[in-house]
Structure 1
């Protein structure tokens, strides 16, 4: 009986050596003999193989050390030896212990790889684009976090906007609607591209093309927004309202197309900061009420601010991502 237990434990070590790439030719023969001894041992071996595949997938997603993970599992098996000896288990217990370890570890790996959503975040002044499996795209503004499960996405096109602002350009599918989830509030694509800005107090939705539906919240309201409309959800009351969108620059942070219609320079500076992730300072208080009328489309802040300075006869001083506008 004791020899059987020790043989099983030795075989588990051979399996781990195989996945580590350190199994000798003699070890391969011994492992083959152990596997041929009973169907139950072949099932245990298959469990190790499934766990190895899970570790590889997890390594790809999270840059983990798969071989290091096998070492941890090996240590767990080693640590189980004193318990086996003290309790003098019946024949086959070691196999069941290993099966339990493999099952638990495999379940954890399965959840992390296939069940847990993948999260994407941006820093304060960072912007990035995410391409979804169906060809839809999400543009993230600064200080934004989204999450979705790429393994379930084909049948369940759902993205969670956890905080911040994102612009969604959706490939429409009548049979599989695209949904943005924000706790109890859901935004459903009815064929569209739209911008969503989420804060602690409210959720703002502006539709660029097509139609979206906002639903949920405390009042279980439902509002349909066609292109050109703005939807507002108030977190405190749960109320949802809609109105004609008056913010022509709602997606300027995405396409860098800026329209200023008799806009105060202080508001121009604020918008430039949001669009380009920079800081624009007005040197003199009198500049706050200077009026700008212009349409700009520049990929970088330097070009846009230089044009504004020339238009308003100002000088520019730059220090990193900070711009100082002053009278000449």
Structure 2
């Protein structure tokens, strides 16, 4: 019968002082007497080893831990027995903490942590695998405390984020956004997610974009980008340019059409900038702006293209010279 407290006390004393030769001999004798006793020892040893990590258990509820320990111990011992005879002892306390660690980790490793930013705020998250996520203003992600499956998955609920993913070929990294997801092995990229669309820009490496289940996926490499219309389930391929300007405070234009320049300036400065022209714009912009104000950038465009700038209440209109 294994319902004798002295058996448990013997094993705990041995595990607490494995160098004691008399305890070692007594435990070895106990283990060799039957298969059940060997199994009993191994299970108690497993729980004891878990208790070594108990310093991480700041959030464990001791009353719940005791209840879970009782249930767990009934499952691992050949016969059910009363825990009350020794639950107040030091040995039992250590074992309770050990099983608490197992329960706490198994129930909380998959719990998601929410990180949210507000207006005019940026924040960053370093994941357990070494990956880094930088959030723009008004953005939200959810991520697990630890990755415990064959893949690494986080959720971008809204807004914009820059991802620098640690390489791990055996565990692909996935960013989930509603029905859509981005899968990578190790790379850096930018996502801007809203209820209407997803903008995906790849800076280094390559990613796989899956718009929804059973839809053909798209592979993007460094310098490539796409815009996905969620309602229409359509996406447009484009070259990646200035997707991380919100992070670097730098705008770089290389052979960029003026119409695209206006779109990127609108996004960066959060101002509606429109181009009105009655001619085909052949001249493209090559320029770099670092920490410049919108007025400074517009002055450069004015000189370069001979534009007329009209400031309205809700927008800025850029007009090209009329063709006579």
Q: What TM-score range do you get, normalising by the shorter chain? A: 0.5 to 0.7
Point out where structure 2 has 5 or more consecutive residues left out of the alignment: 6-36, 68-79, 277-284, 303-324
Q: Deviations over 1:152-184 (max 9, x none)?
A: 269533332222211112344444332222343
Q: CA deviation at 1:307?
A: 5.1
Counterpart of 2:242 in structure 1 is 249
**Structure 2 matches for 1:40-51, cutoff 5 A?**
none
Select the structure of larger CA radius of gyration: 2
Counterpart of 1:123 in structure 2 is 118
Distance change (3 Å), C-alpha of 1:178 and 1:102: closer
Distance change (3 Å), C-alpha of 1:92 and 1:215: same
Q: CA deviation at 1:214?
A: 0.9
Q: Deviations over 1:92-140 (max 9, x none)?
A: 27469999x9899666522454232333222232112223344432211
Point out where structure 1 has 5 or more consecutive residues left out of the alignment: 1-6, 8-38, 78-89, 274-279, 313-328
Contact 2:171-2:185 at 8 Å conserved across structures:
no
Contact 1:225-1:242 at 8 Å conserved across structures:
no
What's the TM-score once normalised by structure 2's chain length? 0.53
Counterpart of 1:272 in structure 2 is 269
Alignment root-mean-square deviation, CA: 5.2
Distance change (3 Å), C-alpha of 1:165 and 1:58: farther
Counterpart of 1:92 in structure 2 is 82
Q: CA deviation at 1:252?
A: 0.3
**Structure 2 matches for 1:168-207, cutoff 5 A?**
168-189=163-184, 192-207=187-202
Alignment pair present for 1:136 and 2:135: no
Distance change (3 Å), C-alpha of 1:134 and 1:218: closer
2:231 aligned counterpart, secondary structure: coil
What's the TM-score once normalised by structure 1's chain length? 0.52
Of Structure 1 and Structure 2, the greater helix share is in 1
CA distance in 1: counterparts of 2:86 and 2:111, whole angstroms: 28
Contact 2:53-2:98 at 8 Å conserved across structures:
no
